[in-house]
Amino acid sequence: MDTVNVSFIGAGNLANAMHYPSLHEFEDVNLVAICDLNPERLHRTADKYGVERRYTDYQQMLKEVDCEAVYVIMPPHHLYDLVITCLEAGKHVFIEKPPGVTSEQTRQMARWAERHHCLSMVGFNRRFIPMLTKAKAEVEARGPLVQGVATFYKHYFAGPYYKGAVDILTSDAIHAVDALRWMGGEPKKVASSVRYLEATYANSFNALLEFENGAVGVLLGNWIVGARVHTFEMHAKGISAFLNPDNKGYIYREGRNEPEIWDTCEVAGSRERHKTYGFFQENRHFIDCVKTGQLPQTHFGDAAKTMELVDLIYAKAF
């Protein structure tokens, strides 16, 4: 396959900030149709990217437009029926995180994708941030990971997301949970603390994980603190990486006190957010997988394991 024809369901802020710009740069992608219920957003996005075929009914779009893949960039509580319909139509599907509102929804989407021989991908973009992928490669070159840390803090008091449709850990802090799985593998033991701080909903999430390979993972999350801070640590024998993909990374080697300092824009080769923060790279990965038939790294089946780890963090809270 030389060129991939892609249709979009969704023309909201995230799609326009991260996914449309990425795909628009790929010479081997044709944006062939866009569907959105909001006519203003639909026409504004289609005009910007020169897409002629415009729909407010996604089922009509699937019937009339010849495409290999569909991006369904919708809130998680609106995803399921649309994703299943696309899979039934034989389309490869890309969605944003979280992949639905429950792990069972994610498992079912994975089964439908396999049943209809479709590729799938969830936008866990942290796995594709250039600073993080470079650090992971350098750490693992020295030996197996012995410890990983993912922190995610926010100043947020608006309650669960989408007016209560999805809890904070599943909807947003799941990025840190997935990053730990990406660093350490599958968990063997979990101990956690889930708290309701000055709120009637869970907004503080801390967990200690032991992975099957013996490494330890630490999750630190809190949604009532001073500001958004999202950082990562990776440690192996003789090397430690302290990484803030919004700013800089610090790599310590063999006991030396002076770190090697990485600038996130220099590592990415760009100052554009969709490239420094992994969206461009995850989209490239999905398109390459569609062209070659390779299963994407964050396919629905893999995403179900991250959703199951979210469930486990709740279940093991003391």
Note the pLDDT tens digit of each residue in 12-30: 999 999 999 999 999 999 9
Query: Tens digits of per-residue pLDDT, 67-89?
Result: 999 999 999 999 999 999 999 99
| Whole-number pLDDT of residue 120 | 98
pLDDT of 95 higher than 90: yes
Pick the CATH number of 127-270+300-315 from 1.10.260.40, 3.40.50.300, 3.40.50.1460, 3.30.360.10: 3.30.360.10
| Whole-number pLDDT of residue 108 | 98
- Please give the average per-residue pLDDT across 155-160, as a whole number: 96
Q: Where do the structural domains in the chain lie, given as residue ranges? A: 4-125, 127-270+300-315
State the first-to-last Cα distance of the chain, in angstroms, to the nearest integer: 52
Architecture in CATH for domain 4-125: 3-Layer(aba) Sandwich (3.40)
pLDDT > 70 fraction of the chain, expressed in percent and rounded = 100
State the chain's mean pLDDT as an integer.
Answer: 98
**236 neighbors 140 (Cβ within 8 angstroms):** yes
pLDDT of 180 higher than 90: yes
- pLDDT band at residue 181 using 50, 70 and 90 as cut-offs: very high
Query: Tens digits of per-residue pLDDT, 192-247?
Result: 999 999 999 999 999 999 999 999 999 999 999 999 999 999 999 999 999 999 99
| Whole-number pLDDT of residue 1 | 78
| Whole-number pLDDT of residue 14 | 97
pLDDT > 90 fraction of the chain, expressed in percent and rounded = 100
